[in-house]
Structure 1
């Protein structure tokens, strides 16, 4: 039976959650594209052929987006519209429900649900395709939450990101939709520092071990840095 949450007031606190490594253990977009590649021998062959080039690009932060885009192009070649891509996402989520459901972090979902139960305005802002985050959250009755994610469109016979919900662009996309005055923000990533710094109360969850000290230096004193169940990540056990 699904939980019924109160309708947030317009002046209710605004709480923004990242998705990957925050609510979901891992990179949901990478899991999607890897599955699309692996299930088709031609796509898999193409991915293996470009890996000597794309692999090093992904490994370096300044060129990571370019490297990932090559794999996304291979995974989606033959798709021509965002609507078609979303149908593929829905089929992927349905087929892989047990594994995807298992990656939703119980501690994160408890905090997520508690904010909704209090009547807070809860928004998910993610670099993943928004349909992917929406479909996975629907497993746990959170399909009513607004999701802002990377926008996709046609690109050279495939689909690709036309606007990345990432870093400063994530903040612009939030503001465009009326989510500018953020009370609490949860994220794992240094790429979300603009979001965390904009929040009155930032909370770092499941950061990479090597990022913990950086977060302590740049975020306000006393900022909580928590681990919500990602075994290979940093943060204090909650």
Structure 2
């Protein structure tokens, strides 16, 4: 057992009710029809790429580039903050009450809690601030400029979470991990204990087969 009691939480659909970055970039596309038109014009190229696991992320990257084209980093950060304000003012809670409750329970116990997410860092931070979790360390994805828009620089997903957490001072093994997705199998392999949040059947089967043990499940999204 490690001496440190580091607990790693995934973010989207583990602490939140939806994929936060996806919702944000879709909102940016919808606000200006010419951006959607650009995505639609590229569909003959994007659809075949989506069909292959090796190239499946490229259509998503193109959509993010289209949503961010012509926008500075400062403008994007301002849009992320405004988006956080907008969704928090909406009728549906952004965060899962039981997930946030579990996170706060770990903090109260003296555990070191860190959130590792594929969400874009400024967006995840803005959302956490509005939930009163601004002091929880955050390791998140970054973007870099490319041909007038923005594309993924470091995506905090899957295997990438390991070095990104390590660089921030949270090397494995971790005492506990919470996630909803099988992409986090590398995280689970490096955690002494782990918990799945409302997993789908395919996700649950894949993780239990790989980890060769029954999963501990919490049904925060089904509550």
Provide, for residues 105-138 of structure 1, a one-character-per-residue CA deviation record: whole Å limited to 9, x for no partner: 1111111111111121111100110121121122
TM-score (norm 1): 0.85
The structure with the greater share of residues assigned to strand is 2
Q: How big is the shift at 1:38?
A: 0.3
Provide, for residues 76-116 of structure 1, a one-character-per-residue CA deviation record: whole Å limited to 9, x for no partner: 001243x4422221122123323496131111111111111
Task: Tell me what 1:161 maps to.
Answer: 152
2:169 to 178, 184, 187: 178
Asked if the contact 1:54–1:68 (Cα under 8 Å) also holds between the matched residues in 2, the reply is no
Q: How big is the shift at 1:37?
A: 0.3
* Two-structure CA RMSD over aligned residues (Å): 2.0
Distance 1:55 1:137, change over 3 A: farther
1:103 is paired with a residue whose SS is coil
2:63 to 63, 71, 74: 71
Task: Tell me what 2:110 maps to.
Answer: 119
The runs of at least 4 aligned residues of structure 1 exceeding 6 Å deviation read none
Unaligned runs of 5+ in 1: 1-10, 231-236
1:85 to 76, 83, 86: 76
Distance 1:150 1:59, change over 3 A: farther
TM-score (norm 2): 0.90
Unaligned runs of 5+ in 2: none
Task: Tell me what 1:189 maps to.
Answer: 181
> CA separation in 2, counterparts of 1:101 and 1:208?
22
Say how many residue pairs are matched: 220
